[in-house]
Amino acid sequence: MTGEMTVTESRASDAALVARIVQRDESALAALYDRYSGMLSPVLNRILRDSQAAEEILQDIFYQLWRSATQFDASRGSLPGWLLVIGRNRAISRLRRHNPASGEELLENTVVLPTNLESTIAQQQLVGKVKGALDSLPKEQRAAVELAYFEGLTHSEIAERTGDPLGTVKTRLRSAVETLKRNLKT
């Protein structure tokens, strides 16, 4: 018996696609866009709450990858990790009207993700795990983490925003990252 519809595909690794980008292969960039744009778009929209601005940054990140692919060293970190960090930094910069981040980010950041995110399934599984880890935090801790991550606020700025004592905010965030570290282990 045969299923009604089947789509199969073989996928090159991130490193192989980056190597093809260095050779000026546009289809490799398109493949990486397909692989990771769906992962980046939610966080850009969550930070900026402006789909047009989020799309501009999304395009900009992948265009930077096209221009700077020779600088990417897979041994120093994972591509999706870099994309997430660069995407968040740029969105926060825009949100807070800082100068846009420079094109040197690919060189400066080393990001080690504890899991391979090259497949859709892996991405979807991690989504569930991260949401579960955040759900496990007490409400105040979760709110503090979200203010730091999605709005780019420091300890002091969170205290100012919420009206809570600085020491309380620090304790909450410290406890939160301890719990997240434990719950996000693979």
Partner 1 sequence: MSGTHPTREEDFDLYALGALDGDEKAAFEAHLASCASCKMKLAEATGRMAMLALAAPPASPSPGVKERLMRQVLATGRGPIETAAGVAPEKEGIFARWWGLLLPVAGAFALASVLLWLHNEQLNRQIAELRITVDQQQKQIAQAHEIAELMTARDTVVVSLAMQKNQPEGTARVLYNAQHGMLVYDGHLAPTPSGMSYQLWLVPMSGAPISAGVFNPAKGEMNSIMAKVPPGTAAKAFAVTLEPAGGMPAPTGPMILVGPVS
Of the candidate residues 17, 18, 20, 39, the single one contacting partner 1 (CB under 8 A): 39
Closer residue to partner 1 in complex, CB, 102/142: 142
Interface with partner 1 (CB under 8 A), residue from 74, 103, 108, 119? 119
- In the complex, minimum distance from the CB of residue 100 to partner 1, in angstroms, rounded to a whole number: 16
C-alpha 18, offset from chain centre:
18
Single residue of 19, 33, 105, 143 touching partner 1 by CB under 8 A: 33
Among 17, 79, 106, 134, binds partner 1 (CB under 8 A): 134
- What residues from 149 to 168 belong to the interface with partner 1 (CB under 8 A)? 149-150, 152-158
- The verdict on 98 binding partner 1 (CB under 8 A) reads no
Instruction: Supply the DSSP string of 92-125, one letter for each residue.
Output: HHHHTTPPPPPTTHHHH-----SS---SHHHHHH
Amino acid at 98: H
Q: How far is CA 135 from CA 62, 65, 128, 158, 181, in A?
A: 31, 33, 10, 20, 14
The answer to whether the beta carbons of residues 47 and 151 sit under 8 Å apart is: yes
As given in the structure block, the two tokens for residue 180 are 């997240």
Site for partner 1 in 57-96 (CB under 8 A): 58-59, 62-63, 66-67, 76-78, 81, 84-85, 87-88, 92
